[in-house]
Amino acid sequence: MPLGPDNPTWKQLYLALANLAAECGGTFAFVIDQGNGLWCVGLANSGPTTVTMPEDRAADRFYKNEMVPRLGGLRRGSRLDVAKTDGDDLYVGVSFAGIYAVVVWFDGAFDPALARARIRRALPEIEALTVGLPPSGGPGFDEGAQRVLA
């Protein structure tokens, strides 16, 4: 079954991410892996969709700016916990399950401590749903993802 609104687990993940973004005052939230595999983007206050081109580009920027410089450490078990509160891209990102990060994106000023607290509260559900998805087999799906999903 392809990943999208027809997959019940993906749909639950979408709703969890959309709710997280809304609770944090963000515009969207997403799950990305160490190979730049974008698993799901949840738009605050929007029903499940895969039409997320601007958000996909934002996820690519997050990957390039935050994950790529830390890939060596992440692969050795380091955790990612970042907040960017100035400039054009505003976000909080937290890693989980060894290879993934959940990121909440903002359009304006936000409280990073509050966003982190809400991410941590939502993380068990997001992690369970993410690792419950079938392997994509496409770009960004690496051996680490296969181990976590096995």
**For residue 5, pLDDT beyond 60:** yes
3 touches 40 (CB < 8 A): yes
DSSP string for residues in 2-19: -SSTTSHHHHHHHHHHHH
- Residue 76 pLDDT: 87
Q: Is residue 143 part of a domain?
A: yes
Q: What is the pLDDT averaged over residues 15-39? A: 96
**For residue 149, pLDDT beyond 60:** no
Number of structural domains the chain divides into? 1
Q: Is residue 114 part of a domain?
A: yes
Q: Is residue 2 part of a domain?
A: no
Q: What is the pLDDT averaged over residues 12-34? A: 97
Q: Is residue 104 part of a domain?
A: yes
Helix (H) or strand (E) holding 40: strand 38-43
Q: Is residue 117 part of a domain?
A: yes
Decide: residue 50, CB within 10 A, 0-12 exposed, 13-18 middle, 19+ buried.
Answer: middle
* Residue 107: both structure tokens together: 């359009």
Q: Please report, for the domain that includes residue 90, its CATH number.
A: 3.30.450.30
Percent of the residues in the chain that have a pLDDT greater than 70, as a whole number: 89
pLDDT tens-digit map of 77-110: 889 999 999 999 999 999 999 899 999 999 999 9
3-state class percentages of the chain: helix first, strand second, coil last, to nearest 5: 45, 20, 35
Q: CA-CA distance, 4 to 77, in Å (whole number)?
A: 30
Q: Is residue 115 part of a domain?
A: yes
Q: Is residue 72 part of a domain?
A: yes
**For residue 145, pLDDT beyond 50:** no
Residue 74 pLDDT grade (very low, low, confident, very high; cuts 50, 70, 90): confident
Give the predicted TM-score (pTM) of the model.
0.88
Q: What angle do CA 92, 96, 101 make, to 5 degrees?
A: 45
Q: Is residue 3 part of a domain?
A: no
Domain that holds residue 117: 8-149
CB atoms inside a 10 Å sphere around CB 10: 23
